[in-house]
Amino acid sequence: MNRRKPDWLKIKIDNLDQIRRTKQMLQKLSLHTVCEEALCPNLVECFGRKTATFMILGNHCTRNCRFCNVTTKRPGPIDKNEPDHVAQAVQELGLKHVVITSVTRDDLADGGSKHFADVINKIKETSKDVTIEVLIPDFKGDLEALLTVIKAQPNIINHNVETVPRLYPGVRPQASYKRSLKLLENVKKHSKIYTKSGIMVGLGEKEEEVIEVFKDLRSVDCDLLTIGQYLAPSPNHHPIIEYIEPIQFDAYKEIADDLGFKHVISAPFARSSYHADEAGNIIL
């Protein structure tokens, strides 16, 4: 096992003025971003490009995934002004492609799906030419909740499988691999919306298991895929088992392309919303 962080995982920080302006605007509107809450390694690059993934429904999650830095705690009430604030932020940042995600809200009857729809609809009202991607939780398998999001017609519905099925008990103990696949399948069954998913590597998976995940995703007609290196947010999270070489990411991309995904980003720093605007351009 290689535990020492290799050179290809070192981040260059620049464009600090734009980063500061983006943070100030988000604070002014009382908005959360997954970039900050999850300690995403791409925060510097994305804020520098005037892009961010907005995290709605608060910043306290009802689940305790061992790879994630978002705080597990009883969530507070929904901010009814949040759809307006997100739409305003999209305008102020001049976004062409926006990603909306959330904490998992198992405490809500609809899992927060109506709030997702409200945010989507408000962005459409105020920014006509923006493509909208939502990165949603599994809603505990509730089809009606999923249909609420589908009815709002985002351009892309993203739901990450995160890791291989064998590792779910230690990485995503409150989630279900089959339930995640079923969600992606139901999006296609009930709409023509593009679907997207992502997987982390370096958690102890085997190459053949990763390839099987690719095949499972294609079996439910998943269109877009991201593959990235897992980086533990703290010593209390799931440990990094291995740093995957860039050449292996290239190999995974080639395999995924051959299986028929419309767009694949495979790189150490790739995350589910990394360069998401590239996928937005492809679907138009």
The model's pLDDT over 82-97, given as tens digits with 9 standing for 90+, comes to: 999 999 988 888 888 8
Task: Enter the tokens of residue 201.
Answer: 């590597």
CB 276 within 8 A of CB 230: no
Q: Band the pLDDT of 29: cuts 50, 70, 90.
A: low
The lowest-confidence range among 21-30, 91-100, 150-159, 166-175 is 21-30
pTM: 0.85
Examine residue 50 and state whether it is found in any structural domain, yes or no: yes
Tally the domains of the chain.
1
| Whole-number pLDDT of residue 1 | 45
Examine residue 156 and state whether it is found in any structural domain, yes or no: yes
| Whole-number pLDDT of residue 11 | 55
Residue 157 has pLDDT above 70, yes or no: yes
Task: Return the CATH number at 240.
Answer: 3.20.20.70
Examine residue 2 and state whether it is found in any structural domain, yes or no: no
Examine residue 1 and state whether it is found in any structural domain, yes or no: no
Helices (H), the chain: 16-28, 34-37, 43-48, 82-93, 113-126, 143-151, 168-171, 177-190, 207-219, 246-259, 276-283
Examine residue 122 and state whether it is found in any structural domain, yes or no: yes
Structural domain including 100 reads 7-283
Q: Do strands 53-56 and 156-158 pair parallel, antiparallel, or not at all (unpaired)? A: unpaired
CB 94 within 8 A of CB 50: yes
| Whole-number pLDDT of residue 260 | 98
